[in-house]
Amino acid sequence: MDKKVTVDTSVIEQTKVDPVTFEVLRSIFEYASDRMTTVLQRASFSPILADMIDFSNAIYDYECQLLSQAANCPIHLAAMKYSAEAIIEKFGIANIHEGDIICVNDPYKGGTHINDITFLTPIYFEKELLGFSVSRGHWMDLGGGAAGGQAFAGTHIAGEGLRLPPVKVYERGVMRDDIVEIMVNNTRTPHFVKGDLQAHVGCLRAAAQEMQRAAAKYGIVTLKAAMKQLQEYTERIVRKSIVEIPDGVYEGEDYADTDGFSTKPIEIKVKLIVKGSDITVDFSGTDSVVKGAINSPFANTASAALYSLQFFLAPHAPQNQGMFNPIKIVVPEGSWLNAKWPAPTIGCTTLTSAKITSAIWQALAKAIPERVTGSTSADCNWFVSSVIAPNGATDVFSDLPAGGWGATPYNDGMNVTEDPLGNCMNMPAETAELLFPIAYEAFELRQDSAGPGKFRGGLGAVFKVRYLADGELSMETARTLAGSPGVAGGQHSDVQRQIKIYKDGRREVIGGLDEQGNWKSPLLCGHPFAYGETFMFESTGGGGYGNPWERDAAQVREDVLDEYVSLQAARERYGVVIDPATMLIDEAATARMRASMVEKAAA
């Protein structure tokens, strides 16, 4: 990467920022990223940005090292550096001018899936490069063989939409109409493009304003010295946390149910090699590149690995490059976690990254069992539907019906919470019904969906949306063969499934296992829905922690009263017998049932 800067690095290295100034500048860096988020959310046009907050913002220093980031989508945040580096590698620092805004969404140049488009602008003060502000947002649609690019029937990246190499969309402050016209011509939602673009531009410029104010007040040398000292500070905190993990090699695994074509699961295998204050994340042994659209480019894989570890290392530390310096990522060539052109990648963020997290957390359970949690529902459950409004106009509707999080060593898991990859919101029903010809019929807790354990996983949900116009639905999900795994004796949650409800009330499982045990691929592409038909999705909960028969019987009864757990599940999963007439625990029957469960486990 071309690192031509005008600063005298030796002066920066010799400058020591006093503690008070250091803390003030740290807060300024964080505030600048947070202000980017405020501007982007308030100015964007598409509901996936304005309401669902499917975007991320960060600031990088003059050497393109992460300086600060907002609390946005984890799967975006660690990957954005690779896009920034790809931009700088193409143009060179000397050819990136004040007022330039460069975008890229190529999955093989630091991107994830095509819908995640990244924008970068340099931050200058008195002709000195201070750093870069970078914003990544999930755009509703950039073409492809199905709405939202979810062309799961395809086998080539070309079927997923407009793939942009690093290209200047603003040049010295002037928008390039030719590039914007290409974007508008390659989307099902042209009415969102210019508004969302201007929202990204506004947030990039907001960050630049804050950094320039800081440089004016504290001086360029002090500002840059604080950048490096902040990164070193975070690295010390993270290394201290790693040292507390026993040295060793810890293995974990998980899988995607299918790539849309395979008849067997696609496996992820990971080794966490802890040595002193360093961790190596080695994905050797993972399956090869697959035919279907769940392959993960390196940036996406690295991002998933990095944020998965930070949950248990130093989440309290300032978020910057220092978090990542002690961690090495190894992904073999040819792996489905190191996708190269022309492998399709549309499901990489929403499906694959969640399985990477689950595999890493299962490995961590062997290293720090007293701290780790059961797996989450481990999927974004992202669906996109094209809908035809009564006036004949076509639009695109999207949502992220969440599942539950895994139990901890101390508490039950959280109910219906977005997977760690996203940190997004679901679409508000009021917004969806205002903008699109649909009606929300249900979004409620799903009984018995959580993984049993001494501490129970969080519950999943039942999500139902009725079509008030004809449409086509595309969706990725998994956990349809087995639910989310528990840890320390905790059990799996229930499976997920996709269901079509016809106007006459008849139900058909269109993804996952039906009542007869027949299974259909949960990677849907352009599945037709007619006016009056309903899509129902049953998301799963999180995995349990600890043996279920060690759960306090009174807690099981409370779960039954809350309708989290059925009477049958209380008996079969927890060994707690409750009288359906009085709703009181049958102490003698419970003791016999639990003793029987212990004997079976011992055998």
Partners of residue 511 on adjacent β-strands: 498
| Tokens representing residue 307 in the block | 């944020």
Prediction pTM value: 0.94
Q: Is 526 helix (H, G, I), strand (E, B) or coil?
A: strand
Q: What single-letter amino acid sits at 219?
A: G
Q: Where are the domains of the chain?
A: 9-236, 373-546, 551-602
What is the 8-class DSSP label of residue 107? Answer: T
Nearest to 226 by CA among 446, 67, 31: 67
Q: Is 276 helix (H, G, I), strand (E, B) or coil?
A: coil
- Torsion from C-alpha of 160, 161, 162, 163, nearest 10 degrees: -10
Residue 585, Cα to own-chain centre: how many angstroms? 41
| Tokens representing residue 487 in the block | 């840890």
Only one residue has tokens 């998980």, namely 254
What CA–CA distance (Å, rounded) separates 291 from 550?
Answer: 44
469 close to 387: Cβ distance less than 8 angstroms: yes
Provide block-wise average pLDDT over 10 residues at a time, the chain (603 residues). Answer: 54 87 97 97 95 95 96 91 97 96 97 96 96 97 92 92 97 97 95 96 98 97 96 97 97 96 96 98 97 96 96 92 97 97 95 96 94 90 88 86 95 94 88 93 96 97 96 95 94 97 97 94 95 97 95 96 97 95 94 86 73
Nearest to 13 by CA among 229, 163, 303, 178: 229
Nearest to 176 by CA among 101, 95, 125, 260: 101
- Phi, psi of 158, rounded to the nearest 5 degrees: -65, -25
303 close to 78: Cβ distance less than 8 angstroms: yes
What CA–CA distance (Å, rounded) separates 179 from 191?
Answer: 16
Residue 411, Cα to own-chain centre: how many angstroms? 23
Q: What single-letter amino acid sits at 129?
A: L
Partners of residue 438 on adjacent β-strands: 467
The pLDDT of residue 390? 75
- What lies within 8 Å, CB to CB, of 61 at 6+ separation is 67, 130, 131, 224, 227, 228, 231
| Tokens representing residue 63 in the block | 């050497």
119 close to 208: Cβ distance less than 8 angstroms: no
Only one residue has tokens 């279907």, namely 292
Only one residue has tokens 């139990």, namely 407
| Tokens representing residue 93 in the block | 């620092």
The crossing angle, in degrees rounded to 10, of helices 220-243 and 190-218 is 100
What CA–CA distance (Å, rounded) separates 207 from 325?
Answer: 25
Tell me how far apart the 2 most distant CA atoms of the chain are, in Å: 80
